[in-house]
Structure 1
């Protein structure tokens, strides 16, 4: 499956041992250099770290995207064969920040919320099936500029619409914007977006301060940035589940009222993945690197997405084989899956 050809002459998999080094670093969440040295101490024929880096630095962006699109298609085909996607499914769209400590002017680097001593990051968007027993990434795309986000979301959705029947889509506050809502409506997608507490929403809260749950018609407005515009939505506001005196706000095109608003908010919270057993830390299965090469960063991120999906596939197939049904939680943890693969690689498997 992992045959990463780059052009006519360069193949990152020209020797399987190069791929072994990448897989080992991904599983152990270590630097390629460290992972390679560990492998060199355990088996013969492992290339030097500089050889692995040489091949990685020859990667071409279009080639990376093409190869991982092929991998995503293959993993989807395996999942579909298990009849996972026969019925309608809920989807989430997420933005992932890979914090960066170099120059903001470097390729594909964007400003972001400060974290761990930097406010620079590479950004990627994913669209994920978030059903009970299944959390599967259908597609991942890089984000090169904030102006591209709406287009990236649309591309992800159009891809998903070809693969699954969508019940509804969940998006976080980063997607609370008129162009996003307009696009979702145009695609006839049912959505729930966590809303930012704008001046208009704060006014609604103040006007309904005696109500525990609020569900009203609301008009989103975009004035400061072109294109300007307005979009009608349903705004519903519920008490925060843990923080007293705080409220959580959502906008949707669903028929929400004061009676069912808490149910929709609960569905958002669960489907978003906050309480799912398949949630692992964002950098799971991703090799560490300090490289300023965007190609290497893109490769490692998409590699981690593919490995995540592989873990989900293995865990769910085990549930089907052993119990004849989808497991409600992973039968093997992400760490156990990684350890099994490490054992296989160390034994020459």
Structure 2
């Protein structure tokens, strides 16, 4: 099944985010239905013929097509005009004149065109004696919203270009609020850019549609009799987005949002009422909150065009958030040489697909033994909600553990894990060729009771000019133990401590210590090679290609930085459920950001060098009309 819905259209032709096929197929026999009312077109065409044998000069034709689009699409569909057909004839023609005035520049120029009584005047609905003096026009048009007329003229002008551009989509396929067609920019050799206002307006509209998809998955058992129940899920996440923008805590952030906003906004107490408290009658646990945000992500990725192509490659990692509050059993102190800072720990699972590197799951951990359990739980939730086809999973050395490897195998995931810089791996690097990737097969796990006791290694020479460093997780009691006695083959049998049994024992780097005999493969420097350990058949694989593909794991490092520093407001609570919701909201906002950067360029006509920042995404969320988003979603069309 996967995230994408193959049965969405039931045999109907595909739909596109902006209503326009960006790559029309010349041999496709399907003729799409016009986006406007055909009867309206015929009625207008009896007055002024368009698209037929009648010939007009370039400026006249552009104005005619623009007015036709306003009459057929914008006027009947816009919020500014409640009922276009119910308006009297004079008001309708003055609206058209207001749009036309944006084209010609001023009221005297408008008067000159309308007094001629030519095709433009007829298209606008004017006949001799209808009052075309500039003062009459100014008085009538000034009663309308100037911003609406300006935007309507811009969209109408863009629609006219669909008719006047020989190649590309036709006028009858232009959406209500089109950008210039991409074919226009190909013909004129211009770069398509958009204004910040246009970008943010469209981002707010689309992100409201995203929230309409996600909101049903994010409901908790709130008291329906409470006065705070008046606020929607969208209102709650508007406040959380605001906290991330301002990088502040809930109380100050809620007060600032209420002061800035012209709408009723939730208070901090409303936010905390929305989030279950640990130990209350609701019986929510971290796992329940984790599942809600995974489900919300799956619902988002059902939206057409957003899901990554399958098989989906993954990355899994741990991260920390500093803690300076009161003692908490979910908080772990660091090793002494890390300034004794304490941390909340989170496990994060992401895709690494270019352009679609979504965070699939993010959850707090309290015990070292939960790393594998959390991964298994996230993968199981994804299978229950979407059942995508997974490919490989990339991890760094702290996750080379028995339970992690077992979980990957149980879910049919091929794994690649960074080898630790120690022991036999250093020997492999020192003896590796400095020119070509090499391999080592059938390395045996130590103390690993599993059906597959061996793995392989890829020894990859690091290119001289390679850049990019991984962000490392601080070493804490959760991620490693210290004061251990090492032997040449791993951990001494006298070691004690949590999880020190033979099945899951770790060395001081958090890795399962393997034992293998290595052969001399040449000479090389240990700092000039990277080694990955994997369960894939390296004898049949392109080793260089796998090495480059593993580099996609760095996407999760970038995603984690965004989660912590861009998309999450200050959470000063020691309540584990509250912290899970804050981090889950950051996951949701991050995924909205990734989706917007994929979808918006198509909606905006593929502008050159388009980029929406994380902060702009949060602003779009804060300004979004979530009620309108319920009506605009294209998941089932």
Interval containing the TM-score (normalised by the shorter chain): 0.7 to 0.9
More displaced stretch, 303-312 vs 265-274: 265-274
- The answer to whether the Cα contact below 8 Å between 1:216 and 1:234 also exists between their aligned partners in 2 is yes
Indicate yes or no: 2:256 matched with 1:38.
yes
**Equivalent residue for 1:166?**
390
Cα offset for 1:90?
1.1
- The answer to whether the Cα contact below 8 Å between 2:276 and 2:284 also exists between their aligned partners in 1 is no
Structure 1: runs of 5 or more not aligned: none
What is the rounded CA distance, in whole Å, between the counterparts of 1:189 and 1:12 in structure 2?
48
**Equivalent residue for 2:582?**
300
Aligned pair partner of 1:120 in 328, 336, 342: 342
- The answer to whether the Cα contact below 8 Å between 1:92 and 1:129 also exists between their aligned partners in 2 is yes
- The answer to whether the Cα contact below 8 Å between 2:308 and 2:353 also exists between their aligned partners in 1 is no
Cα offset for 1:18?
5.7
- The answer to whether the Cα contact below 8 Å between 1:6 and 1:12 also exists between their aligned partners in 2 is no
Cα pair distance change 1:185/1:110, threshold 3 Å: same
Over residues 219-277 of structure 1, what are the superposed CA-to-partner deviations in whole Å (9 max), with x where a residue is unaligned? 25445xx979983111112233448943221111223259832321111112541798x
Aligned pair partner of 1:247 in 496, 519, 529: 529
User: How do residues 129-208 of structure 1 correspond to structure 2 at under 5 angstroms?
Assistant: 129-162=351-384, 163-208=387-432
Over residues 41-99 of structure 1, what are the superposed CA-to-partner deviations in whole Å (9 max), with x where a residue is unaligned? 324755665x3575377534726754563453244233224152553121111222122
**Equivalent residue for 1:95?**
318
Q: CA RMSD in A?
A: 3.9
What is the rounded CA distance, in whole Å, between the counterparts of 1:281 and 1:118 in structure 2?
25
- The structure with the largest alpha-carbon Rg is 2
- The answer to whether the Cα contact below 8 Å between 2:228 and 2:270 also exists between their aligned partners in 1 is no
**Equivalent residue for 1:337?**
617
Aligned pair partner of 1:286 in 568, 577, 581: 568
Over residues 179-200 of structure 1, what are the superposed CA-to-partner deviations in whole Å (9 max), with x where a residue is unaligned? 3223323433211111112312
Over residues 100-157 of structure 1, what are the superposed CA-to-partner deviations in whole Å (9 max), with x where a residue is unaligned? 2245x51322345789855422222222222122111222333220011112222223
Over residues 164-192 of structure 1, what are the superposed CA-to-partner deviations in whole Å (9 max), with x where a residue is unaligned? 11121111222112332233234332111
Number of matched residues?
Answer: 339
Cα pair distance change 1:63/1:10, threshold 3 Å: farther
Structure 2: runs of 5 or more not aligned: 1-214, 468-524, 630-637
Query: TM-score if structure 1 supplies the norm length?
Result: 0.79
- The answer to whether the Cα contact below 8 Å between 1:6 and 1:63 also exists between their aligned partners in 2 is no
**Equivalent residue for 2:437?**
213
- The answer to whether the Cα contact below 8 Å between 1:285 and 1:307 also exists between their aligned partners in 2 is yes
Cα offset for 1:24?
1.2
- The answer to whether the Cα contact below 8 Å between 1:195 and 1:250 also exists between their aligned partners in 2 is yes
Aligned pair partner of 2:298 in 76, 80, 86: 76
Q: Secondary structure at the match of 1:313?
A: helix
What is the rounded CA distance, in whole Å, between the counterparts of 2:560 and 2:608 in structure 1?
13
Q: Secondary structure at the match of 1:281?
A: helix
**Equivalent residue for 1:233?**
455
More displaced stretch, 9-18 vs 141-150: 9-18
What is the rounded CA distance, in whole Å, between the counterparts of 1:107 and 1:42 in structure 2?
38
Q: Secondary structure at the match of 1:14?
A: helix
Cα pair distance change 1:171/1:114, threshold 3 Å: farther
What is the rounded CA distance, in whole Å, between the counterparts of 1:302 and 1:36 in structure 2?
19
- The answer to whether the Cα contact below 8 Å between 2:294 and 2:361 also exists between their aligned partners in 1 is yes
What is the rounded CA distance, in whole Å, between the counterparts of 2:583 and 2:323 in structure 1?
13
What is the rounded CA distance, in whole Å, between the counterparts of 1:141 and 1:257 in structure 2?
37
Cα offset for 1:300?
0.7
Q: Secondary structure at the match of 1:135?
A: coil
Q: Secondary structure at the match of 2:242?
A: helix
**Equivalent residue for 1:314?**
596
- The answer to whether the Cα contact below 8 Å between 1:91 and 1:128 also exists between their aligned partners in 2 is yes
Cα pair distance change 1:9/1:77, threshold 3 Å: closer
